[in-house]
Amino acid sequence: MTRYLLAVNFQPGVIDTPMDRWEPAEVQAHLDHYTALNDELRASGELVGGEILAGPDVAKIVTSDGGAPMVTAGPFAEIAEWVAGYQIVEVPSEARALEIAARVSAVPGPGGVPLQQPVVVREIVEDSPSDPETMGSYLEQVRGAQA
């Protein structure tokens, strides 16, 4: 079984109306969609974890040279780039991860219209690089994917 991260940001999909302008019943239907999907994935054993994240306005960036850390406010990205939340699923194939991501993407918006919200799907690396050779192989693979 392979684990995948399904990340959702604040990109609106096909609906431009901000959620704070939706009817309360539309917001509830949106939330109920996630609850039902997560309950189903928990019952099947496919949901490993997931969380909704606080907004980047309360995020901190930490840098350190080994001494006292420097902590600054941020990041200051556009709202569409903010990660809103994520799920980690453990599934037998990438195809199943993509199937689940499609269900996340179809979360309802105003009028029950599926948002078609973009969902980032990334395989979780099980064997982290632990020496220069495996790190080099990992970086080569990442660079190859960018080409």
Mean pLDDT, consecutive 10-residue segments, the chain of 147 residues?
94 88 96 96 97 84 91 72 90 97 96 94 89 88 74
Q: Is residue 134 part of a domain?
A: no
What is the helix, strand, coil percentage profile of the chain, to 5?
40, 25, 35
pTM over 0.75: yes
**Does any domain span residue 146?**
no
* Domain CATH number, residue 120: 3.30.70.1060
Q: Is residue 29 part of a domain?
A: yes
Show the domain range for 107. 2-126
53, with CB counted inside 10 A (0-12, 13-18, 19+), is middle
Phi, psi of 126 (to 5 degrees): -80, -40
Number of domains making up the chain: 1
70, part of any domain: yes
The answer to whether position 120 is within a domain reads yes
Residue 137 maps to a domain = no
Q: Is residue 46 part of a domain?
A: yes
CA distance 63 to 54: 20
Is there a domain that residue 110 lies in?
A: yes
Determine the 3-state secondary structure of 33 from DSSP. Answer: helix
What pLDDT does residue 86 have?
A: 96
